[in-house]
Structure 1
Amino acid sequence: MTDRPRRRWHIAVFLAPAVLVYTAIMIIPLFDTLRLALFNKGDDGAVFVGLRNFATLFGDPNWSRQFWNALINNCWFFVIHMLVQNPIGIALAAILSNPRLRFAGLYRTAIFVPTILSFVIVGFAWKLILSPIWGIAPNMLDAVGLKSLFSPWLGKESSALTTLALISVWQFVGIPMMLIYAALLSIPDEVLEAAECDGITGWAAFWKIKLPLILPSIGIISILTFVANFNAFDLIYAAQGTLAGPDFSSDILGTFLYRTFFGFQLQLGDPYMGSAIASAMFGVILIGVCLYLFGIQTRIRRYQF
């Protein structure tokens, strides 16, 4: 007489609350947004129009100009994070993982604290710091003889978006630092001791031994950075407002979506076109995640194993 397989109902019981909450606040709104993008306002309420909203978004000059401007700005916002935030995070993690470094815990805490601050606080604080009228940035640069380098960076079209991206880097560099720090600590001591026997120490050990072993973690950080940056909204809104000035130079997909869906000033919101923009954002993020999963991550695993 064979034993029947045990039904592990407790797994479903423990997963049910999380699944229900995730479905209620993520899955249902996502599908409802995709559904709403296929409708438009009619005389008797919502009217099914198919892909006409997307044709307007990409074909109408007024809409497409704003969309492509926001998308290009979003790409630049992401590139700065990839080229500045993540390398700095990796370097900080490598330094702080040195067992001979004193006060490493204090440094980790100080670097990670900005990540728990509110976007509104960070946006307004840096706007005050960089103000040419009452900000402290001009005086700080003057103290070191570099006042000539100061410029109203948040007020210039050429530098507003880059400045905001660097502020975001300052706030969130602690996240890749902590993830890479945890990955470095998980490397077996036997591997490092074997490298020392071969004369590989210091930075040589990091480049030749540690870095290849933490490539999967770097890949995960990269895709998290991609998703977070293409969902960005709060910092731009807090610092530059709904219009993402000056002259939409810091406009990204998040602010473009907010301005369209909820309206601004005397312009009424359009939930149908707003849903089309949100669906386009979802498509961009989905394509990026798929490229990572089926391209980069596969190569990383092949390289590692």
Structure 2
Amino acid sequence: MHKPRSRRRWHIAVFLAPAVLVYSAVMILPLFDTLRLSLFTEGPEGRVFAGLANFRTLFGDPNWSRQFWNALANNFWFFLIHMAVQNPIGIALAAILSAPGLRLAGFYRSAIFIPTILSFVIVGFAWKLILSPIWGIAPSMLDAVGLKSWFAPWLGREETALTTLALISVWQFVGIPMMLIYAALLSIPDEILEAAECDGVTGWSAFWKIKLPLILPSIGIISILTFVANFNAFDLIYAAQGALAGPNFSSDILGTFLYRTFFGFQLQLGDPYMGSAIASAMFAVILVGVCIYLFGIQTRIRRYQL
């Protein structure tokens, strides 16, 4: 006589419970508390329910909306640079490192991946020193190869500060898409590649015609992870440019805008209610992006595979 299904599978709940409790405590509950806090404001007698007043202020008040749309536009540019530079380079590096017979492949993988484990503070401060026009080594390095005229204070110019920071972030995190694509390439069955060789498809032709279509799901996952990570970005901008994300807020993104609003900075007083409204708007942007991927791009990838 078999035991009831609920009794035979009770251990699943036991093993899942610690992870669910920890995730709920550090992610789910703070999320709902932030959404709840965005519906309140500070009144004469303390916290009072304000409904959507904070969102009306965020999107309707010119002083707030100008900062929000500037930060959102900068965030999209930050994300597009990662998509256009980081992920293609990661795919190319993975294709090169997965080539059979490549010497020191393990060393190259480690060297490229090491920056991802460095602290944002270290990376931001180090690159700020490197690119400094006063004591940085970038001018002398460019001078050594005859390109000193190309040097400019990239972090000090409004038109180049955000792009420079995005490229620094690309340098730090290009190892993540590289490793994920590398693992996907190694998972391709040898039988498929051997059959392609029998048909005369080898080298880069095999990558474009055989390997790339097979790793499209991995590329899609990397893309959505890049989107979520970039719209949650804060550390590098803060470490390199400070909470004001200078010059003149040209490198301001949603993360730094949220920080200044929630905690306050210099002469700006902190407003946790408006800060929660900004955090809720960030959550909505990320949620829309993830839904577009899940119900649009991912569906097409599955149809393509079938």
Structure 1 match to 2:260: 259
Structure 1 match to 2:61: 60
Distance of 2:249 and 2:65 partners within structure 1: 14
Distance of 1:263 and 1:4 partners within structure 2: 57
- Pairs within 5 Å for 1:160-179: 160-179=161-180
Distance of 2:14 and 2:112 partners within structure 1: 39
Structure 2 match to 1:34: 35
Structure 1 match to 2:4: 4
Q: What do residues 168-193 of structure 1 show as CA deviations (whole Å, max 9, x unaligned)?
A: 00000000000000000000000000
Structure 2 match to 1:107: 108
Distance of 2:205 and 2:55 partners within structure 1: 52
Q: Give the partner amino acid of 2:292.
A: L
Give the CA deviation at 1:255.
0.1
Q: What do residues 18-71 of structure 1 show as CA deviations (whole Å, max 9, x unaligned)?
A: 111100000000000000000000111111010010000000000000000000
Q: Give the 3-state SS of the residue equivalent to 1:267 in structure 2.
A: coil
Q: Give the partner amino acid of 2:237.
A: I
Q: Give the 3-state SS of the residue equivalent to 2:217 in structure 1.
A: helix
TM-align CA RMSD: 0.8
Distance of 2:264 and 2:158 partners within structure 1: 23
What is the TM-score with the length of structure 1 in the denominator? 0.99
Q: What do residues 185-208 of structure 1 show as CA deviations (whole Å, max 9, x unaligned)?
A: 000000000000000000000000
Structure 1 match to 2:50: 49
Distance of 2:37 and 2:69 partners within structure 1: 22
Bigger drift between 154-163 and 6-15 goes to: 6-15
Q: Give the partner amino acid of 2:276.
A: S
Distance of 1:168 and 1:7 partners within structure 2: 48
Structure 2 match to 1:270: 271
Q: Percent identity?
A: 87
Q: List alignment gaps of at least 5 residues for structure 1.
A: none
Q: Give the partner amino acid of 2:54.
A: N
Structure 2 match to 1:82: 83
Give the CA deviation at 1:7.
2.9
**Runs ≥4 in structure 1, deviation > 2 angstroms?**
1-7
Q: What do residues 235-271 of structure 1 show as CA deviations (whole Å, max 9, x unaligned)?
A: 0000000100000000000000000000000221000
The alignment covers a number of residue pairs equal to 305
Structure 2 match to 1:118: 119
**Judging changes above 3 Å, is the alpha-carbon distance between structure 1 residues 31 and 3 closer, same or farther for their aligned structure 2 residues?**
closer
Give the CA deviation at 1:134.
0.2
1:134 maps to 2:167: no
Q: Give the partner amino acid of 1:202.
A: G
Q: List alignment gaps of at least 5 residues for structure 2.
A: none
Distance of 2:195 and 2:59 partners within structure 1: 57
Give the CA deviation at 1:2.
6.1
Structure 2 match to 1:16: 17
Q: Give the partner amino acid of 1:247.
A: N
Structure 2 match to 1:145: 146
Structure 2 match to 1:285: 286
Q: Give the partner amino acid of 1:143.
A: A
Distance of 2:208 and 2:29 partners within structure 1: 45
